[in-house]
Structure 1
Amino acid sequence: MKPHGRWSPAAAGGQTSDPAAAVNRHAATLRELHRPGTPLLLPNVWDCSSARAVVAAGLPAVATSSAAMADSLGYRDGEAAPVGLLLDAIARIAAAVGVPVTADLERGYRMTPAELVERLAATGAAGCNLEDSDPGTGELVDAGRQADLLAEVRAAAHDQGIDLVLNARIDTYLRPAGDPAALLDETVRRARRYHAAGADCVYPIGLSAPDAVAEVVAAAGAPVNILARSGGGLGGLAALGVARISFGPHLYRACRSHLEQQVADYLADVAPVHP
């Protein structure tokens, strides 16, 4: 049976007669790790090796990056990778580590809410990101439509007995710059609406100004996930009450850049020998 099919004990992270219970234990742990002011640090991974490195560093959970995983599998970001291939990769990561795994599923890869819950849970992952941009066009999805999707996923999880941890990504700050006050108001509006629909955490990706982060943290009504910026500043985010810090594809791109530089250095070294 393939990892992205129905329940597999190995995919759930160990040998057990009740793999759903194992996933739910991981979900409870993952949810409890969202502590405002003491944020869950998630250097996003793309394969088993990077996931094991995160765990070896002492971090208590693992998150995947859709962009990094897609590129490592040979596809562009934006739900271009076959969903079965992506879920197989997530299952291998979940089986390789003994900690909760949360998966970046973009906007669901065109799966129905029931299918999304069933197939994700079969990988052993305990949570997922769902974003409010259309993967095909990049356009922001109507807030009501996105809230409906989140509510349907939450209801499907309840029906299947899966305690899924939902992180609702808010893409308002990925749009061209507009009036800062209006942008902040829309972000808070979406955060509240998504939390009411069943999201455990909200993720205004691209939000970075400390005053705006503090306002979203105060007004969202839910734990807030912020994307880390290069150069650190994690302590500052913790002081603002952030509950979760992601890295997106930054680490993957840094690894690729290092590889490319190493290869270039080797080629430059042998060039005089092999003109």
Structure 2
Amino acid sequence: MLPTTYQRKLEKFGRLHQTSGAFLMPNAWDARTARILEGLGFPALATTSAGLAFSMGLRDSSGSLSRQQVLDNAYSVVSATSLPVSADLENGFGASPEDCAQTVREAEAAGLCGGAIEDATGDPNDPVYGFELAVERIRAAVEAKRAKNFLITARAENFIYGRPDLGDTIRRLKAFEQAGADVVYAPGIPDVACVRKLCEAVSVPVNVVVGLSATT
């Protein structure tokens, strides 16, 4: 049985995603920023691999941070706040579906209420996983979670890796939804019109980052 406080956080996080309209979930890169953001009244927090990497003097690139580093940091954020926290789990820290599954199991053990897994490979010559493997990775992540309200955010990375193909991006996000993803996200979507098309194509909540474009 899940601890009561953790269960309440999971339920709150789930309710936030079922309300009408949008809610703001800022990125905390350590325990101090988590406390500040909670004090400002935000209802939930996310971690950021870029913020963590930059705070350590590292580039935000695949492989610059290990699963253990990311989850240790996430645990410090979870421990510093009473809010639900979702983690940036990068590409699941490995190519295989089992890598993604193991990452989700450890994310739950750290007290997180959700996590985002991207379909980026980390290989500049082949930056995005093939369609079938990308879907299998999300399916494995979904099947690995113990708590129903632990929310898996599935990311399609085309636009930030020089592949501005809205059709393929929507195809991937629809398949991720069918594989059980609770939330979908395509970073770098260039404008509101594209965001609308994406929202119309799926029935799960859609994550959008303010200020991130295909050229950043």
TM-score (norm 1): 0.69
C-alpha displacement at 1:31, in angstroms? 2.2
Aligned positions of 1:1-275 closer than 5 A? 19-20=2-3, 22-35=5-18, 38-77=21-60, 78-110=62-94, 112-137=99-124, 139-157=127-145, 160-161=146-147, 163-176=149-162, 183-229=165-211
> Which whole-Å CA distance do the structure 1 matches of 2:64 and 2:209 have between them?
23
Letter in 2 for 1:229: G
Residue segments in structure 2 that go unaligned for 5+ positions in a row: none
> Which whole-Å CA distance do the structure 2 matches of 1:80 and 1:20 have between them?
33
Q: Check 1:210–1:185 CA distance in 2 against 1; reply closer, same or farther (3 A cut).
A: same
Letter in 2 for 1:171: E
TM-score (norm 2): 0.86
Letter in 1 for 2:198: V
Letter in 1 for 2:208: I
> Which whole-Å CA distance do the structure 2 matches of 1:113 and 1:172 have between them?
19
Spell out, residue by residue over 1:56-110, the C-alpha distance to the aligned partner (whole angstroms, 9 max, x if none).
1111101011111122234332132232222111111101100100000101112
Spell out, residue by residue over 1:206-236, the C-alpha distance to the aligned partner (whole angstroms, 9 max, x if none).
1131211111111122211111028xxxxxx
- Does the 8 A contact of 2:153 with 2:185 survive in 1? yes
C-alpha displacement at 1:113, in angstroms? 3.7
C-alpha displacement at 1:175, in angstroms? 3.2
Count of aligned positions: 209
Letter in 2 for 1:44: N
Q: What secondary structure is seen at the aligned counterpart in 2 of 1:129? A: strand
RMSD after superposition: 2.4
**Who wins on radius of gyration, i.e. which is larger?**
1
Identity %: 28
Q: What secondary structure is seen at the aligned counterpart in 2 of 1:102? A: strand
Greater RCO, CA 8 A, separation 6+: 1
Spell out, residue by residue over 1:163-221, the C-alpha distance to the aligned partner (whole angstroms, 9 max, x if none).
4201111112113365xxxx221121111100111111111101131211111111122
